[in-house]
Chains A and B, each alone.
Chain A
Amino acid sequence: MIRLLLIEWIKLRNYRAFHVLTGLYFIVVAFVCSGGTLLLEYLNYQKTKNNATFITVDPRILPIYDFPDVWQNITFIAARLKIFLAFIVIISLTNEITYKTFRQNIIDGLNRVEFMFSKITMIFVLSLANTLLVFLVGLINGLIYSHDKSLVAIFGNMEFLGAFFLNVFIFLIFSFLVGLIIKRTGIAIVFLGIYATFMEPIATLIFKHMPKLPAFFAEIAPYFPTQALRDLIPNPYPRYILQDFQEYIAFSNVAIVSCQLLIYSGIIYLLLKWKNNN
């Protein structure tokens, strides 16, 4: 396993585009996740500027970085950004096909399964780094702004970080599959972007809420690749307008995405095993 990771590491170590893209991504994640207070300040500024006296609450008192709520708050936001990490995975895979280095790796004696695992370990490490970053950003912001800094509070609701890791990891494996099928960098990126941000969310909305559609459609919607991942970490922000929301990770959702992971890996394995790789 270490050898496979090392192979992938040598491939990426001096690849400037990879460094720039992952660096930018991590900076964006850190900024967006730390930007909550900034957003609240902005809301307050708008409120005073427009003399919206009917809003009696000062937005700045919203405890978005309070332990342990911060973990669900921050992972929910960070999970919106994972598509950019997926682009990096797609580039690293389609490069191998474009430059025919995948074929050369096989000729040189790499097994197809080894190739698959070398990419998956890279995806694993990227997801882990992403989770670690979100943990640190949450921890730092929490230590600055949280009202409750007890260890129980800090380490409460940590399962959302686990769910975040699973969310990113599975989405990146899904992107790996998309890249493997489409093979062209540009088309794969555009397809994944449109699919994950427009096609599937719109289809899910229609399936769930369109009247007169048979119940069957609403029932299958939670099984869609990105919808299942979205359901994993439910939106916690309704709590600030005192509405109900799901404050836990549902086992059924974990089961669904785990099955998806198995299915994606299985298809990747079969594709690599049975296709000609010219």
Chain B
Amino acid sequence: MENVLQISNLYKNYGRIKAVHDLTLTVAPGTVFGLLGPNGSGKTTTLGVILDVVKKNSGTYTWFGEPPSRHARKKIGAILEAPAFYPYLSAAENLKVIAQIKEISYDSIDLVLKKTGLLDRKKDRFQTYSLGMKQRLAIASALLSDPFVLVLDEPTNGLDPQGIADVRDLILKISSEGKTIILASHLLDEVQKVCTHFAVLNKGKVLYSGGVEEALSNSEAIEVSSPDIDLLLDAVKQYEHAKDVKRNHQKIVVHLAQQKTGYDLNTYLVGKGIIVSHLATERKNLEEQFLEILSQSK
């Protein structure tokens, strides 16, 4: 199957500021793709370019293997930054405008409002909505045409914990229906919970792009402890699969070669006659991984 989105060597300058600099990205179908980066790293600019609201300087991008067109955009449900609706119109009327633009029937309006829990407020004007409801209406509008791809820019911005959880559940639900989701965020915890793939952007460049699982599995650390800590330290240092052994007070933190787990380490230590009092496998979270990628780029 064709890649959903392919961006090649994209450049965008605002005057002297390089907002996007030689950016190349591929989004495969069925993935939940997180676009990460600090504020001002070029996430929204990149999304703006691929949605044809920001003019690129050079580079190419294709949707579904085709050059961009308004017909391709109709197959995409997207929100960029804050939800943009006519404040003096009701939710239903706002969605009617979008349905007309996308040339689809009004039937799906109630459907997406129900999905996002706004059905009982459909006749209220948008300006009376709370921030969480506005965000949910934005997601409803993105879902309206039953699109192949959802592009969400900071969908949980400004939401309370319950709102964040609701949006997360919604994203997981939509993704389980086989849709591709592209999600820009700086909430790494969120991305880790929902994304299958991610890319890290900084200063308009891609620093990393790959699967969330791969990124995290390489970063397992094992914490061990034993009453005789010096003896343990020597033994661990001699272990052939151990890389990067550190002592941290009464614990030793060790990174193992690929495919080796805490089980292997423990078997080895028992063979050496050392009984551990504590053994724990620590997975680095995406946040640490992200900060590491950023710091390496400096």
Q: Across the interface, which residues of A come within 8 angstroms of B53, CB to CB?
A: 103, 106-107, 276-278
Q: Across the interface, which residues of B come within 8 angstroms of A15, CB to CB?
A: 86, 88-89
Query: What is the CB-to-nearest-CB distance from A16 to chain B, in angstroms, rounded to a whole number?
Result: 7
**B80 interface residue (CB < 8 Å to A):** yes
Q: Per-residue CB proximity of B74-103 to A under 8 Å, as 1/0? A: 101011111011111110010011101111
| Distance between Cα atoms of A11 and B103 in the complex (Å) | 16
Q: Across the interface, which residues of A come within 8 angstroms of B86, CB to CB?
A: 11, 15, 95, 99, 101
Q: Across the interface, which residues of B come within 8 angstroms of A274, CB to CB?
A: 55
Asked if residues A16 and B102 are in contact (CB atoms below 8 Å), the reply is no
Asked if residues B84 and A109 are in contact (CB atoms below 8 Å), the reply is no
Q: Across the interface, which residues of B come within 8 angstroms of A275, CB to CB?
A: 55
Q: Across the interface, which residues of B come within 8 angstroms of A107, CB to CB?
A: 51-53, 73, 78-80
Question: Within B36-61, which residues are at the interface with A (CB < 8 Å)?
Answer: 48, 51-55
The listed residue with most B CB atoms (<10 A of its CB), out of A10, A17, A101, A114, is A10
| Distance between Cα atoms of A101 and B87 in the complex (Å) | 10
Asked if residues B85 and A99 are in contact (CB atoms below 8 Å), the reply is yes
**B70 interface residue (CB < 8 Å to A):** yes
- Cβ-defined partner of B51 (8 Å) among A6, A7, A13, A106: A106
| Distance between Cα atoms of A17 and B125 in the complex (Å) | 14
Number of interface residues of B (CB under 8 A): 32
Query: What is the CB-to-nearest-CB distance from B109 to chain A, in angstroms, rounded to a whole number?
Result: 12
**A100 interface residue (CB < 8 Å to B):** yes
- Cβ-defined partner of A110 (8 Å) among B70, B78, B80, B93: B70
Nearest A residue to B97 by beta-carbon distance? A10
**B16 interface residue (CB < 8 Å to A):** no
Q: Per-residue CB proximity of A66-101 to B under 8 Å, as 1/0? A: 000000000000000000000000000001000111
**B249 interface residue (CB < 8 Å to A):** no
**A49 interface residue (CB < 8 Å to B):** no
**B71 interface residue (CB < 8 Å to A):** yes
- Cβ-defined partner of B89 (8 Å) among A3, A14, A103, A110: A14
Asked if residues B87 and A109 are in contact (CB atoms below 8 Å), the reply is no
Asked if residues B85 and A101 are in contact (CB atoms below 8 Å), the reply is yes
| Distance between Cα atoms of A19 and B136 in the complex (Å) | 29
Question: Within A155-180, which residues are at the interface with B (CB < 8 Å)?
Answer: none
**A150 interface residue (CB < 8 Å to B):** no
Q: Across the interface, which residues of A come within 8 angstroms of B48, CB to CB?
A: 276, 278
Query: What is the CB-to-nearest-CB distance from B124 to chain A, in angstroms, rounded to a whole number?
Result: 12
Number of interface residues of A (CB under 8 A): 29
Asked if residues A109 and B97 are in contact (CB atoms below 8 Å), the reply is no
Q: Across the interface, which residues of B come within 8 angstroms of A246, CB to CB?
A: none
**A108 interface residue (CB < 8 Å to B):** yes
Known contacts A7-B100, A110-B70, A278-B54; A104/B93 CB under 8 A: no
| Distance between Cα atoms of A263 and B98 in the complex (Å) | 31
Query: What is the CB-to-nearest-CB distance from A12 to chain B, in angstroms, rounded to a whole number?
Result: 10
Asked if residues A108 and B98 are in contact (CB atoms below 8 Å), the reply is yes
| Distance between Cα atoms of A114 and B82 in the complex (Å) | 24
Q: Across the interface, which residues of B come within 8 angstroms of A17, CB to CB?
A: 88
- Cβ-defined partner of A103 (8 Å) among B71, B80, B101, B103: B80
Q: Across the interface, which residues of B come within 8 angstroms of A13, CB to CB?
A: 93
**A46 interface residue (CB < 8 Å to B):** no
**A197 interface residue (CB < 8 Å to B):** no
Q: Across the interface, which residues of B come within 8 angstroms of A108, CB to CB?
A: 73-74, 78, 98, 101-102, 141
Query: What is the CB-to-nearest-CB distance from B238 to chain A, in angstroms, rounded to a whole number?
Result: 60
Asked if residues A16 and B88 are in contact (CB atoms below 8 Å), the reply is yes
**A258 interface residue (CB < 8 Å to B):** no
Q: Across the interface, which residues of A come within 8 angstroms of B93, CB to CB?
A: 10, 13-14
Nearest A residue to B44 by beta-carbon distance? A278
Asked if residues A104 and B84 are in contact (CB atoms below 8 Å), the reply is yes
| Distance between Cα atoms of A15 and B86 in the complex (Å) | 9
The listed residue with most B CB atoms (<10 A of its CB), out of A3, A17, A107, is A107
| Distance between Cα atoms of A101 and B53 in the complex (Å) | 12
Known contacts A15-B89, A101-B85, A109-B70; A6/B100 CB under 8 A: yes
**A48 interface residue (CB < 8 Å to B):** no
Question: Within A243-278, which residues are at the interface with B (CB < 8 Å)?
Answer: 274-278
Nearest B residue to A18 by beta-carbon distance? B88
| Distance between Cα atoms of A189 and B40 in the complex (Å) | 34
- Cβ-defined partner of B84 (8 Å) among A101, A111, A114, A276: A101
Asked if residues A14 and B84 are in contact (CB atoms below 8 Å), the reply is no
| Distance between Cα atoms of A269 and B78 in the complex (Å) | 25
Interface CB pairs A-B, < 8 A, 6: A15-B86, A16-B88, A106-B51, A107-B53, A109-B74, A277-B53
The 7 A-B residue pairs with the shortest CB-CB distance in the complex, in nearest-first order: A100-B84, A109-B74, A104-B84, A109-B73, A108-B101, A7-B100, A107-B51
Seed contacts A106-B51, A108-B74; 16 additional CB < 8 Å A-B pairs? A7-B100, A14-B88, A14-B93, A15-B89, A99-B87, A100-B81, A101-B85, A101-B86, A103-B84, A106-B53, A107-B51, A107-B78, A107-B80, A109-B101, A110-B70, A277-B53
* Residues of chain A whose beta carbon lies under 8 Å from any beta carbon of chain B: 3, 6-7, 10-11, 13-17, 95, 99-101, 103-111, 114, 274-278
